[in-house]
Amino acid sequence: MSEDARIEEVAAKWKDVPGSLIMALHEVQEKLGYVPRETAMELAKEMHVPLARIYEVLTFYSFFKLTPPGKHKVQVCLGTACYLKGAAKLVEELKDQLKINEGETTEDGMFELELVRCVGCCGLAPVVVIGEKVYGNVEPAEIASILSEYEK
């Protein structure tokens, strides 16, 4: 099924449901990983919604991504325990090594940096999560080694 056909399907499902634009955008992002401009334009056309309205929703909610996600999502926990044990230093080290800021993806598309509130591993603070793997008691000096596991 082509991307256009999928967008038409999503639009058909939601266009007659009042207040459903956000649900349609969630579905698009679930299928594509983000909401490309071309897709937003097609959705606007199919749902008879101004493109400006779609971008109001996309830019208001931090959940939505306008750029492709990285192959590996790097999450740094900033919950109380992690923060007190130096998570901010981990964030700075990741920004320096990846050359991106939070919410961004590296130029090569390999890594995406996300800051999260709590991953529920307080006893391992500070914590970095990449994909499904949890790294506990992380020191800034370990970041390069951790990232190298994913660059292969």
pLDDT band per the 50, 70, 90 thresholds, residue 7? confident
SS (H, E, C) the chain: CCHHHHHHHHHHHHCCCCCCHHHHHHHHHHHHCCCCHHHHHHHHHHHCCCHHHHHHHHHHCCCCCCCCCCCEEEEEECCHHHHHCCHHHHHHHHHHHHCCCCCCECCCCCEEEEEECCCCCHHHCCCEEECCEEECCCCHHHHHHHHHCCCC
pLDDT band per the 50, 70, 90 thresholds, residue 4? low
Q: How many CB atoms lie within 10 A of CB 135?
A: 19
Question: How far is the C-alpha of 3 from the C-alpha of 28, rounded, in Å?
Answer: 10
Q: Give the Å distances, CA to CA, from 94 to 53, 77, 100, 103, 116.
A: 35, 13, 8, 12, 14
Report the CATH fold assignment for 72-148: Glutaredoxin (3.40.30)
Per-residue pLDDT, averaged over 129-139, amounts to 97
Ranges of each domain in the chain: 3-60, 72-148
pLDDT band per the 50, 70, 90 thresholds, residue 2? low
Interval 64-118: pLDDT, tens? 999 899 999 999 999 999 999 999 999 999 999 999 999 899 999 999 999 999 9
Look at residue 1 in the predicted model and tell me its pLDDT.
Answer: 38
Cβ(90)–Cβ(146) under 8 Å? no
